Structure 1
């Protein structure tokens, strides 16, 4: 049997779609606190930019208060067609985006299909470059070939979630972290689709099929160009009264210096600086104990907050996590 072409290295996280009714708070959070460029498209649509791409975050009005779609930018139409073929070969429905939907995301070609936890996955080619200059408080963000950052999910079915990204995007395991938070043991697996240390992190409670997070996404990450940008955005988050989830600290595995703010929709937004870059010739997956070398201390967490996590975990036992079994198991050749 002929091995299927590997798309690893031709894929990068390109955009995210967020559904929210809290446009005013999100505009202040993204623009005035984090320091992004923003464009109001209409009463129901807003975009944030990080670089010369016309869209990195598309916010649309709706009740989810969550990330509802993840967009993956691909190197070329050949990679697009390979991924489309493997999705369809597994019997999973895929829908071509309209010209309007592609335009809102700042891409020329768009395909959507189901993803883990009910998060739609979108593949795209040919990002549209904005003609207007950036107007933002940050000096810049690291994007380019590795993509714009990463997304972290909590899962009660982590093997299926990891299998999905391996099947669709040929994701590779970078490393693991074992951590205990409030007496709960977690294992976090970090997956990469290019030289960025990880584009997806999957956290699971060890020994219990519970999910302590309300939102589909636990956090998203973007990367500052400078340490000054990190420090200044951290100060602005505090001064503007937004909740800080974790103070500045440094991770054990990717060595990224970062903090975590809580977004108006409830999931967390990590702003980081200077993570390691994976060298495919020498990298070996390992296991780290604890998420941080130092810092990342919970800010303002109360007993009520901890009880809420236990309540959400118990509630998750009553609802089976959405998965895409056809794309979460053994790989098959492209169609």
Structure 2
């Protein structure tokens, strides 16, 4: 008889993102001067941003992709890492050890890597190194990280059931809720998954009943959270004053009630800066469906007809491109209920 699988839910958090870009000058101004993060650029062809005492929360490496290439997941202990690694290997999916240099760049002691949906590599580690240099932020009260992780990512996909199945298989992710929304004439269903009490760490966006993905980048947006509302509004002003695009103005979401805005990062994906989302109570939470992403605000700024056309063009072209879903870890996919 097979021993029951022990859940790793609550022992996982989003720890860092890896980004490939040639736009170091733009990212320096965006990350440090607009968003307000601590900048570390002591290594050649590498730029790192900090939100807290960890050495690295965003690793930028020089390259042509202009995209996020990997998600880093911090685990509570080595037993959790071993359990997830064994789970992945049991499904026939390869796991590789990151090099000492790769671990040092990410500010972790050791990492293992395995494939993820949509070409987004997944990396796991246990211990993050603490920086020796004092933290220098442009936000007065700092960013919210801690035991629930550094924020969240949203990913657009043509295979939402398989992607949801993947994160459930690997990290025992739970469904928090859904949002139905119409964007640029396309009807989307967005599924929100949590791996701890943070309302969501992965949001999965898919066009209803159409096998298209209008987003060029591997993530649609990433999110970081500030401790005080004044820091969010000040960052919004800095983004505009420095000439970076605003995708969505300040608004409040229907499901997690977070106040936020969305800026356009130099690499093309969106960057959400938010404040005060709700925290899930695991004893009482039940998934529901919300109509629309926002109670108020979050209106598009500066979007032209060319931007809309480009998005439709990307969606049409995506029909012709296969999307790798790591089927061995997606199971048969999880249908909506």
TM-score, normalised relative to structure 2:
0.97
Q: Do the aligned partners of 2:162 and 2:332 also contact (CA within 8 Å) in 1?
A: no
1:224 is matched with 226
Aligned-pair distance for 1:41? 2.9
Structure 1 residues 197-229: Cα deviation after superposition (integer angstroms, max 9, x where no partner):
000000000011000111111000000010010
2:25 is matched with 24
Q: Do the aligned partners of 1:11 and 1:73 also contact (CA within 8 Å) in 2?
A: yes
Distance in structure 1 (CA, Å) of the matches to 2:168 and 2:285: 18
1:282 is matched with 284
Q: Do the aligned partners of 1:167 and 1:330 also contact (CA within 8 Å) in 2?
A: no
1:308 to 298, 307, 310: 310
Q: Do the aligned partners of 1:87 and 1:94 also contact (CA within 8 Å) in 2?
A: yes
Distance in structure 2 (CA, Å) of the matches to 1:226 and 1:85: 41
2:261 is matched with 259
1:326 is matched with 328
1:80 is matched with 81
Distance in structure 2 (CA, Å) of the matches to 1:197 and 1:174: 7
Counting only pairs closer than 5 Å after superposition, residues 176-255 of structure 1 correspond to structure 2 as 176-255=178-257
1:170 to 155, 172, 180: 172
How many residues in Structure 1 have an aligned counterpart in Structure 2? 331
Aligned-pair distance for 1:99? 1.4
**Structure 1 stretches of 5 or more lacking a match?**
none
Counting only pairs closer than 5 Å after superposition, residues 32-47 of structure 1 correspond to structure 2 as 32-47=33-48
SS at match of 1:42: coil
Q: Do the aligned partners of 1:96 and 1:112 also contact (CA within 8 Å) in 2?
A: yes
Structure 1 residues 41-79: Cα deviation after superposition (integer angstroms, max 9, x where no partner):
323101000000010000000111000000000000000
Distance in structure 2 (CA, Å) of the matches to 1:207 and 1:92: 29
Distance in structure 2 (CA, Å) of the matches to 1:92 and 1:207: 29
Is 1:98 aligned to residue 99 of structure 2? yes
1:7 is matched with 8
With 40-49 and 277-286 compared, the bigger mean Cα shift is at 40-49
Distance in structure 2 (CA, Å) of the matches to 1:181 and 1:55: 34
Q: Do the aligned partners of 2:71 and 2:120 also contact (CA within 8 Å) in 1?
A: yes
SS at match of 1:283: coil
Distance in structure 2 (CA, Å) of the matches to 1:302 and 1:176: 29
Distance in structure 1 (CA, Å) of the matches to 2:332 and 2:322: 22
Aligned-pair distance for 1:330? 6.1
Is 1:54 aligned to residue 93 of structure 2? no
Structure 1 residues 296-317: Cα deviation after superposition (integer angstroms, max 9, x where no partner):
0000111111111110000000
Aligned-pair distance for 1:168? 0.3
Aligned-pair distance for 1:2? 2.5
Structure 1 residues 109-162: Cα deviation after superposition (integer angstroms, max 9, x where no partner):
200000010000000011101111111101300000000000000000001111
Structure 1 residues 68-109: Cα deviation after superposition (integer angstroms, max 9, x where no partner):
000000000000100110111111111111111111111112
Distance in structure 1 (CA, Å) of the matches to 2:216 and 2:42: 29
SS at match of 2:320: coil
The verdict on how the C-alpha distance between 1:4 and 1:330 changes in structure 2, with shifts beyond 3 A counting, is farther
What is the root-mean-square deviation in Å for CA atoms of aligned residues?
A: 0.9
TM-score, normalised relative to structure 1:
0.98
Distance in structure 1 (CA, Å) of the matches to 2:82 and 2:189: 34
**Structure 2 stretches of 5 or more lacking a match?**
none
With 108-117 and 322-331 compared, the bigger mean Cα shift is at 322-331
